[in-house]
Structure 1
């Protein structure tokens, strides 16, 4: 699922936000620690969010089992419910203090949390599908409520009782994640994804930028690509930054209609590949990467022939990029992809905009 996240220029306040599976898991883990440390059963906990701030999350129930407790939080997707909306997210929490000199927080995946079986994902093969940001969020939440005086091991097992059934409704089977859902969320909050409202947000952002005399728009595919661009170009006006997400064709046409002379797209390798395919939308589920076509582009760029079969059968664009990193032809491939993506963008603008790209890898490093 793609979450609608922008820079504060909301189209309207009518749509209700929700909480990610990562935030739900964090709340359950935090409440479990509080119960084991104090015996209290808070009705809600203030969960730290990855970008900063907190979100109050209600706790559904506590189930003590000897020296452990199982805490349940109900996933709420807001007005953009996905397959996990309404399901139980649980944390089984244990505390072990014997002989320890400092605190260790261990996070595991249990029933209903998927396990990765294919490369190209941010979680290593064989590990539970708890993405890096939620993993950090859970650990931060646990440490916040455990207190500085605790020395020992905190073990948290995240479970989703209905996770295996729910996973069939997600992209997990295609991505090689088996046995359950993923614990996700880079921001901690689910913001409603409405095509009409997001397009209106793009249009309104462009209107404001033009009203302020700007002729260069910087389209980002999300908050992270926006931040990376700002880190590299700190003098950029925030008004010029428009979170266009997957709306490639619409955004280019909207920029052209408003008289923008230049557009920069700041994105990750996977979105660059899709733009180079000329897709009107680059949404992950409805518009996948054409790996056969990508393999052809690799061949044209002079990449090692022995790599091409793996590219053709790759699972994700990340896998392809990792595979090609040692190949000296990678810069040539990137240049070709950027040229094709810029050509598609100019076509969508009716040849009214000049286009360039700032491309990042999945660890946030700028690609030449």
Structure 2
């Protein structure tokens, strides 16, 4: 992923995607291959028409090849690829072959269906491929040439290690990172990259023929739902705070059974109608939670304690000590929020609520998401 959450400030510095860096490196390498000289700096065209310039961080050429490298600057985004050296080696290819993409060291290879690229292809996404192609065309034009057949091999220094911090392994991309980007620009803390990774995870699960996927808000709930249902890794969708982003995509790309799993705080927010459950979107309403506790049978003293709790987990601790099944009520209301988004007769929805230790404290049954109320938990397998 090249980003995570929304910006705290509009003044944060933007950066460049791995796709932009790969395009710049490819243009520089192609210029060197054709002219024998590397440029001091190189400009590339982004999908939006912008023309950023880049200085080369490394250059090398030999018999039949030229290699250039660009250090990725992600701006003020906490990007795992920030500072990575993105390299492109360009060679002439057989006449009529066009541009042939290769995965060098540190760039992953697709091994599972469902991604924008078929298995066996280097994980250089479609928009970066177009950008690289355009960059090569510009290089040829600057050299007054007419060639159009090149092999472009993209590599990333230490890319195998960097990939361990991404979702590539789960998506079946092995050997390194992906070359990504749809605009060429990294917007600091943008949620778009995370949401796109959610979509690709759903695509892979569907392509694998799975009939049940589970979106989780964090690591604890993911491990808990995996154990609860015995799901394979490819069925696990790390949706984080973006419950709405996952549900909307599943609505348009149906899977028969969908579980939404999370901790008490985020599931309480979902129960209270929030589809983006990040803390910056607002806190769970403890007064409303106290009213739910009263509806579930809590006495006045417990209701007051819950209303005055420090955080949601403390409120649930108080409810648990009083043997109040608040989790099931939260699960039922969270189901209603999520079902309104799905509203699909062929998608059965389930909600699971876990505490910090991964213990199940609230659940619904699987129920077609176009119903008005969830089935009781006893209906689950």
Q: What's the TM-score once normalised by structure 1's chain length?
A: 0.54
Of 48, 65, 69, 1:68 maps to: 65
Of 159, 167, 182, 1:186 maps to: 182
Q: Structure 1 residue 314 and structure 2 residue 235: aligned?
A: yes
**What's the CA shift string for 1:283-337, capped at 9, x where partnerless?**
79898699879x9xxxxxxxxxxxxx9999536699xx99x97xxxx5x969999
| Structure 2: distance between partners of 1:177 and 1:112 | 11
Of 127, 130, 155, 1:133 maps to: 127
Deviation at 1:90, TM superposition (A): 0.7
Equivalent in the alignment of 2:368: none
User: CA, structure 1 residues 127+92, in 2 after alignment: closer, same or farther (shift >3 Å)?
Assistant: same
Q: Contact conserved, 1:175 with 1:315, CA < 8 A, in 2?
A: no
Equivalent in the alignment of 1:150: 146
User: CA, structure 1 residues 315+37, in 2 after alignment: closer, same or farther (shift >3 Å)?
Assistant: farther
Of 26, 44, 61, 2:23 maps to: 26
User: CA, structure 1 residues 26+290, in 2 after alignment: closer, same or farther (shift >3 Å)?
Assistant: farther
What's the secondary structure of 1:347's corresponding residue?
coil
**What's the CA shift string for 1:13-49, capped at 9, x where partnerless?**
5322111111111101001111222233222221221
Of 55, 59, 67, 2:56 maps to: 59
Map residues 185-224 of structure 1 onto 2, 5 A cutoff: 185-193=181-189, 222=192
User: CA, structure 1 residues 346+129, in 2 after alignment: closer, same or farther (shift >3 Å)?
Assistant: same
Of 114, 122, 131, 2:116 maps to: 122
Equivalent in the alignment of 1:14: 11
Q: Contact conserved, 2:216 with 2:236, CA < 8 A, in 1?
A: no
User: CA, structure 1 residues 269+70, in 2 after alignment: closer, same or farther (shift >3 Å)?
Assistant: closer
User: CA, structure 1 residues 38+184, in 2 after alignment: closer, same or farther (shift >3 Å)?
Assistant: same
Map residues 258-273 of structure 1 onto 2, 5 A cutoff: none
**What's the CA shift string for 1:100-154, capped at 9, x where partnerless?**
5x78222211111111222332222222111111112111211122127413411
Equivalent in the alignment of 1:363: none
User: CA, structure 1 residues 284+160, in 2 after alignment: closer, same or farther (shift >3 Å)?
Assistant: farther
| Structure 1: distance between partners of 2:201 and 2:108 | 25
User: CA, structure 1 residues 165+336, in 2 after alignment: closer, same or farther (shift >3 Å)?
Assistant: closer
Deviation at 1:85, TM superposition (A): 1.6
Structure of greater Rg: 2
Q: What's the TM-score once normalised by structure 2's chain length?
A: 0.53
Q: Contact conserved, 1:270 with 1:289, CA < 8 A, in 2?
A: no
| Structure 2: distance between partners of 1:178 and 1:269 | 15
- Between 1:57-66 and 1:11-20, the stretch displaced more is 11-20
Q: Contact conserved, 2:2 with 2:81, CA < 8 A, in 1?
A: no
Q: Structure 1 residue 347 and structure 2 residue 273: aligned?
A: yes
Q: Contact conserved, 2:40 with 2:56, CA < 8 A, in 1?
A: yes
Q: Contact conserved, 1:80 with 1:190, CA < 8 A, in 2?
A: yes
Q: Contact conserved, 2:14 with 2:75, CA < 8 A, in 1?
A: yes
User: CA, structure 1 residues 222+77, in 2 after alignment: closer, same or farther (shift >3 Å)?
Assistant: closer
| Structure 1: distance between partners of 2:49 and 2:224 | 37
Unaligned runs of 5+ in 2: 206-213, 238-244, 261-266, 276-287, 289-332, 344-381
Equivalent in the alignment of 1:305: none
| Structure 2: distance between partners of 1:167 and 1:116 | 13
Equivalent in the alignment of 2:47: 50
What's the secondary structure of 1:54's corresponding residue?
coil
Equivalent in the alignment of 1:301: none
What's the secondary structure of 2:52's corresponding residue?
strand
Question: What value does the CA root-mean-square deviation take over the aligned residues?
Answer: 4.8
User: CA, structure 1 residues 53+120, in 2 after alignment: closer, same or farther (shift >3 Å)?
Assistant: same
User: CA, structure 1 residues 149+66, in 2 after alignment: closer, same or farther (shift >3 Å)?
Assistant: closer
Deviation at 1:93, TM superposition (A): 0.8
Deviation at 1:347, TM superposition (A): 2.6
Considering Cα pairs closer than 8 Å and 6+ residues apart, tell me whether 1 or 2 has the greater RCO. 1
Q: Contact conserved, 2:101 with 2:152, CA < 8 A, in 1?
A: yes
